[in-house]
Amino acid sequence: MAELNVDAYELGGFQTNCYIVSNPETREAIVIDPSWNAKMIKKKLDDKDLECVGIYLTHGHIDHMAAMDELKTLLGESTGAQTYASEDERDVLGNSRVNLSAMMTSVFEKVVETSVDNYLADGDVRKLLDTEMRCISVPGHTRGGMCYYFEQGHILFSGDTLFKYSVGRSDFPTGDENALLENIREKLFVLPDDTVVYPGHGDKTQIGKEKKMNPFF
């Protein structure tokens, strides 16, 4: 089984990490958090000769999904890739005040109220890229925050839940600080210490390092 490739791109005014996760043998890929510049993301896929089989959101804030609908349209004819997010994130995606696009028009130049093709639940396992990806519900930053974990390779995409030596904000609509910290302790810190954490902003880290050095715990 091939080792997965993870390519990270800092996009948009908030330098959000957009990830292309791919299997070099099957040439299949998923995009996580298409934050900005759908044409560039599509070009990166094309340049690497990758077929996108899904677009996944860690949560519904505008700086993580501003390019989702355009990217799906660009991919539509060639791949038919569908979009995915937590079932608890419907209200965030569909409300421009809650997804913050209404207050960030100076940065993102548009107000977005959208939805996804498929909604995910805690514990769902997606079979893709010739392996499995587990969905971990982590309410706190938003009500429907979702992390994606590949046991193969011990890889976690944490969105704005867990950062290197920090955690996500909980003062936005639907946020909950107690839930955020509890979910990190009970759902993320139980993963293997060598799990590589790819966050929504900033540098990657490891679960073991965060358990020892994150000042919020």
pLDDT in tens, 41-55: 999 999 999 999 999
- CA–CA distance, 88 with 58 (Å, rounded to integer): 11
Which CATH number covers residue 74?
A: 3.60.15.10
Does residue 97 register a pLDDT over 70?
A: yes
Q: What is the pLDDT of residue 1?
A: 64
d(CA 150, CA 2): 13
Query: For all residues of the chain together, what is the average pLDDT?
Result: 96
Q: What is the pLDDT of residues 102-152, one digit of tens each?
A: 988 877 878 999 999 999 999 999 999 999 999 999 999 999 999 999 999
Q: At what angle do helices 38-47 and 68-76 cross, to 10 degrees?
A: 40
Contact 131, 138 (CB under 8 A): no
What are the angstrom distances between the C-alpha of 102 and each of 84, 95, 115, 171, 190?
Answer: 22, 9, 16, 17, 37
Q: How many domains does the chain have?
A: 1
Summarize the confidence of residues 201-210 as an average pLDDT.
98
Statement: residue 2 has pLDDT above 80: no
Report pLDDT digits (tens) over 152-186.
999 999 999 999 999 999 999 999 999 999 999 99
Distance between CA atoms of residues 71 and 159, nearest Å = 19
Check residue 109 and give its pLDDT: 78
| Buried b or exposed e, range 168-189, using 16+ CB within 10 angstroms | bebebebbbeebbeebbeebbb
Quickly state the pLDDT bin for 80 (edges 50, 70, 90). confident
Residue 65's pLDDT band, with cuts at 50, 70 and 90, is very high
| Separation between Cα atoms, residue 58 and residue 8, nearest integer Å | 15
* Residue 91 pLDDT exceeds 80: yes
Expressed as residue numbers, the domain containing 66 is: 5-213
pTM (2 d.p.): 0.97
